[in-house]
């Protein structure tokens, strides 16, 4: 299996006045093509920081981040921006849709700004909207959709460019249990049926249990890994997580 994401000994500090916060203290991980990996950890353990660095949204103080063998930490800013736009899909807890555009228009944006042909953009948009099963909502604006539907629009938008990896930071954080379930099932299905490579941050065992494996982050360090064995067993993940994060 080819490696899509390689994070090598990454460290990140934040300075707040005189205080230095060690958000990541040397984290390494690899994600193979088609893998669905979850990262669990307490609030403040460095999950979002790790996701942002993996996606080239921010740069580490030490270490390297490679996506498809391209080193994001050595790229000129402009090149990294382009690489991110084309090869990395990101979704967040907040859906970040533009309120005045329809679902379909929101989905098309990443390729519109990239100057792709209208035909390609229309084809891809239809394809990803079908993947997230939102054909019937394509003409709706965000405020006329449920939270779960808005997150599915955000997922479709993130997949439009057929990225190397989909990064998700607490994608179900704003959703009720039924909508959370739907989003997690969708991610599982994208991984299984489409071979989408996924890295998802969450603090919920139920969410993490849908992944192929779960990495546990504690105070800026990876402290262990839980193999879910594809069973979606939330109780098992919760129990192993409690041991590791102690
Ligand atoms: N821009 C920033 N400036 C200063 N400190 C920061 C900044 N961003 C994050 N931190 C600190 O770095 C640490 C890790 O933050 P991070 O957001 O990665 O945690 P997290 O695991 O995602 O937490 P949560 O579950 O609450 O989202 C925390 O102590 C946080 O306060
Ligand atoms: Mg976070």
Domains of the chain: 3-244 (3.40.50.300)
Over 90: is that where the pLDDT of 245 sits? no
Pairing mode, if any, of strands 213-218 and 221-227?
antiparallel
46 lines ligand 1 (CB under 6 A): yes
| pLDDT tens-digit map of 44-66 | 999 999 999 999 999 999 999 99
| pLDDT tens-digit map of 76-109 | 999 999 999 999 999 999 999 999 999 999 999 9
pLDDT at residue 96, as a whole number = 94
- Which has more confidence, 115 or 171? 171
Among the bound ligands, name the one nearest to the CA of residue 44.
1
Over 80: is that where the pLDDT of 20 sits? yes
Q: Whose CA is nearest to atom 6 of ligand 1?
A: 14
CB-CB contact of 225 with 192 (8 Å):
no
The three state secondary structure string of the chain is: CCEEEEEEEEEEEEEECCEEEEEEEEEEEEEECCCEEEEEECCCCCHHHHHHHHCCCCCCCEEEEEECCEEHHHCCHHHHHHHHHHHEEEECCCCCCCCCCCHHHHHHHHHHCCCCCHHHHHHHHHHHHHHCCCHHHCCCCHHHCCHHHHHHHHHHHHHCCCCCEEEEECCCCCCCHHHHHHHHHHHHHHHHHHCCCEEEEECCHHHHCCCCEEEEEECCEEEEEEECCCCCCHHHHHHHHHHHCC
Residues with Cβ–ion distance below 5 A, ligand 2: 47-48
Over 80: is that where the pLDDT of 231 sits? no
Q: Whose CA is nearest to atom 2 of ligand 1?
A: 14
Over 70: is that where the pLDDT of 1 sits? no
pLDDT at residue 97, as a whole number = 97
* Mean pLDDT value of segment 235-245: 90
| pLDDT tens-digit map of 133-187 | 999 999 999 999 999 999 999 999 999 999 999 999 999 999 999 999 999 999 9
pLDDT at residue 199, as a whole number = 98
pLDDT at residue 103, as a whole number = 97
């Amino acid at each position: 299996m080819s490696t899509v994401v390689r994070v090598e000994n990454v460290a990140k500090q934040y300075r707040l006045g005189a205080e230095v916060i060690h958000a990541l203290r040397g984290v390494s991980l690899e994600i193979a093509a088609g893998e669905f990996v979850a990262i669990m950890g307490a609030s403040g353990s460095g999950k979002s920081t790790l996701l942002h660095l993996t996606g080239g949204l921010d740069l580490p103080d030490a270490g390297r981040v490679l996506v498809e063998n391209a080193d994001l930490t050595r790229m000129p800013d402009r090149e990294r921006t382009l690489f991110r736009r084309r090869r990395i899909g990101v979704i967040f807890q907040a859906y970040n849709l533009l309120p005045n555009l329809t679902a379909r228009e929101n989905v098309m944006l990443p390729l519109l700004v990239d100057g792709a042909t209208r035909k390609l953009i229309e084809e891809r948009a239809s394809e990803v909207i079908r993947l997230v099963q939102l054909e019937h909502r394509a003409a709706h604006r965000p405020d006329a959709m449920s939270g779960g539907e808005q997150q599915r629009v955000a997922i479709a938008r993130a997949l439009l460019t057929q990225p190397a990896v989909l990064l998700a930071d607490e994608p179900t954080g704003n959703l009720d249990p039924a909508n959370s379930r739907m989003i997690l099932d969708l991610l599982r299905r994208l991984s299984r049926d489409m071979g989408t490579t996924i890295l998802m941050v969450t603090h919920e065992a139920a969410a993490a249990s849908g992944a192929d494996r779960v990495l546990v982050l504690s105070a800026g360090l990876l402290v262990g890994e839980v193999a879910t064995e594809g069973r979606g067993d939330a109780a098992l993940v919760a129990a192993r997580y409690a041991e590791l994060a102690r």
